[in-house]
Amino acid sequence: MNSYDVAVIGGGPIGAVAARYAAATGARTLLVDQGDGSCEPACCAGLVSPRTLSLLGTSSACLLREIRGAIIHSPTGKQTEILSKKMRAIVLDRGALNRELLKLAAQAGVEVRHHTRAAITGQARLHLSEPSKQREAKARVVIGADGPRSMVASRFSLPSPPTFLAAVQATIVREARASEMVEIFFGAKVAPGFFAWAVPAEQHQLRVGLAATQGTDVNTLLNNLLSQHFPGQVISHVGGIIPIGVAAQTTTDGALIVGDAAGQLKPTSGGGIYTGGVCAKIAGEIAGYASLAEKTTDETLIEYERRWQDKIGKELRFGLLAHRALYSLSDVKIEAGLAIINQPSILQAITEYGDIDYPGMLASSLLSRQDLWPRLLPLIPVVGGWEKLGNLAQFVISSEQPSQDHKPKNSDG
Ligand SMILES: Cc1cc2nc3c(=O)[nH]c(=O)nc-3n(C[C@H](O)[C@H](O)[C@H](O)COP(=O)(O)OP(=O)(O)OC[C@H]3O[C@@H](n4cnc5c(N)ncnc54)[C@H](O)[C@@H]3O)c2cc1C
């Protein structure tokens, strides 16, 4: 039976980063993924902040597009355009990103095994189903990077994220309306409880998808969206789920969870590559050092939870409050809110301060602009009164800014 210091279950972007950071500590690290390592066709729009590539330590080979703004469609079809002079986001080739991350992990010394499904058979014990054989392995620390329905979390009795959205996405052959802009659609008839998107991807291709409250027939909604706005040949069609809210506990004796398994996504947008990446580096390091020191109980591993909470915990909690406030609004209120935002001075402030990784920063910057208060005041009844807004504002005011290594550097953020 092979013994490892750290075993990472799941070779998505977050597992690959966690494994690389574990191996960098000198820990003997195994990474297993049931797929071929490409995650294709990915159930992901691949839209991230430009700083994500440097955070993950990858080249720009997987970069497909630079994005400068968004066209927002209200429930009745009115459009609000937010366009920045600077690049605000990038669109990635998810397959290329994943392959590069796994290559980097292998180069760092990780034993990477594709087409291998892992099961936990006991404390520190794994059963690995490979295409041609079954084998057992031991690991001092198991990292669950196995996605939103984490087997590792359930086997180690760790809680799941509190809620999930149902999601679906099609890649179609069609030119984007504007090649440097994404389109966002709101409304109960389009995507109840969240939003729909169209993201320009490879040449002549668009990723059109939506997420909505669980139980919604997302496939029918996607077909409606495609036929109304984006007729074109469908190349791929994938479904998935998006966790909203972090798991109440992310470590236990001998195991920790990271990425979608831990719900470390931004609740306002459903983006999880940047936030999961921040946590994956910490997860790998802590798991590596803990296993080498043979201190693998929760007492040591909980340092991972302290550190990721310290880095992005507040921002994710703000995101959850904002998610609850925004995505419970009726269509009438969304319409009214977008009409208020659609004023030159507010749009200008959004393009200036907006940061897709740190929506709390936008909120605090807007709050600090007293000249905008009269224009923003009508948002209070829309958002649900002083109580909800007060909660959000309190959070924003008490929030720390992102630490230096995650702060936007000039235009790339
Ligand atoms: C429709 C949609 C669009 C999205 N768009 C964006 C976006 O534009 N930007 C963004 O930042 N985020 C986006 N996300 C979220 C993003 O895709 C995830 O946050 C990200 O993929 C999380 O990575 P992960 O490595 O934690 O999990 P995953 O990518 O889910 O990887 C988990 C891996 O674990 C493997 N696995 C599971 N169980 C086992 C097992 N027992 N044994 C072996 N292997 C196993 C799976 O095969 C998989 O490869 C989107 C999500 C959805 C659903």
For a ligand 1 pocket test, name from 33, 114, 237, 355 the mutation site with the most ligand atoms within 8 angstroms of its C-beta.
Answer: 33
| 138 HSE (CA, 13 A, CB side) | 5
Residues 307, 373: one domain? no
CA 99 – ligand 1 centroid, Å = 14
Model pLDDT for residues 268-288, shown as the tens digit of each residue: 999 999 999 999 999 999 999
If you write DSSP's letter for every residue of 305-357 in order, what string do you get?
A: HHHHIIIIIHHHHHHHHHHHHHTT--HHHHHHHHHHH-SHHHHHHHHHH--TT
According to the model, what pLDDT value does residue 406 have? 43
Mean pLDDT, rounded, for 327-343: 91
According to the model, what pLDDT value does residue 405 have? 44
According to the model, what pLDDT value does residue 196 have? 98
> What is the domain count for the chain?
3
Mean pLDDT, rounded, for 325-348: 90
Residues 330, 353: one domain? yes
Structure token digits, residue 138: 């031991």
Mean pLDDT, rounded, for 78-102: 94
Residues 6, 134: one domain? yes
Q: How far is residue 183's CA from residue 198's CA, in Å, rounded to a whole number?
A: 5
According to the model, what pLDDT value does residue 366 have? 80
Residue 99 DSSP one-character state: H
Does ligand 1 lie within 6 Å of residue 12's CB atom?
A: yes
Query: Does residue 57 sit in helix, strand or coil?
Result: coil
Residues 171, 308: one domain? no
According to the model, what pLDDT value does residue 378 have? 81
Mean pLDDT, rounded, for 74-98: 94
For a ligand 1 pocket test, name from 44, 208, 358 the mutation site with the most ligand atoms within 8 angstroms of its C-beta.
Answer: 44
According to the model, what pLDDT value does residue 108 have? 98
Model pLDDT for residues 236-273, shown as the tens digit of each residue: 999 999 999 999 999 999 999 999 999 999 999 999 99
CA 359 – ligand 1 centroid, Å = 22
Q: Which CATH number characterizes residue 239's domain? A: 3.30.9.10
Residues in the chain: 413
Model pLDDT for residues 213-244, shown as the tens digit of each residue: 999 999 999 999 999 999 999 999 999 999 99
Residues 20, 106: one domain? yes
Structure token digits, residue 356: 């897709």
For a ligand 1 pocket test, name from 8, 20, 34 the mutation site with the most ligand atoms within 8 angstroms of its C-beta.
Answer: 34
Residue nearest to atom 38 of ligand 1 (CA): 146
CA 240 – ligand 1 centroid, Å = 9
Closest ligand 1 atom, residue 148 Cα: 30
Would you say residue 119 lies in a domain? yes
Closest ligand 1 atom, residue 169 Cα: 1
Q: For 288, list phi and psi in degrees, rounded to 5.
A: -60, -55
Alpha carbon distances (Å) from 261 to 114, 201, 209, 348: 19, 26, 22, 37
Kindly report the average pLDDT of the chain as a whole number: 91
Would you say residue 366 lies in a domain? yes
Model pLDDT for residues 350-391, shown as the tens digit of each residue: 888 888 898 877 878 887 888 887 888 787 777 766 566 666
Q: How far is residue 120's CA from residue 15's CA, in Å, rounded to a whole number?
A: 17
Mean pLDDT, rounded, for 14-34: 98
Q: Which of 219, 181, 218, 190 is nearest to 91 (CA)?
A: 181
What's the pTM? 0.93
Residues 211, 113: one domain? no
Cis amide bond preceding 41, omega within 30: yes
pLDDT greater at residue 146 or residue 383: 146
Residue nearest to atom 33 of ligand 1 (CA): 10
Would you say residue 56 lies in a domain? no
Closest ligand 1 atom, residue 167 Cα: 1
Would you say residue 399 lies in a domain? yes
Residues 273, 233: one domain? no
Last residue of a domain, one of 216, 244, 272: 244
According to the model, what pLDDT value does residue 408 have? 36
Last residue of a domain, one of 184, 210, 244: 244
Mean pLDDT, rounded, for 88-101: 96
Residue nearest to atom 22 of ligand 1 (CA): 260
Mean pLDDT, rounded, for 318-340: 91
Mean pLDDT, rounded, for 181-207: 97
Does ligand 1 lie within 6 Å of residue 93's CB atom?
A: no
Percent of the chain with pLDDT strictly greater than 70? 93
CA 148 – ligand 1 centroid, Å = 7
Domain assignment of residue 328, given as a range: 323-412
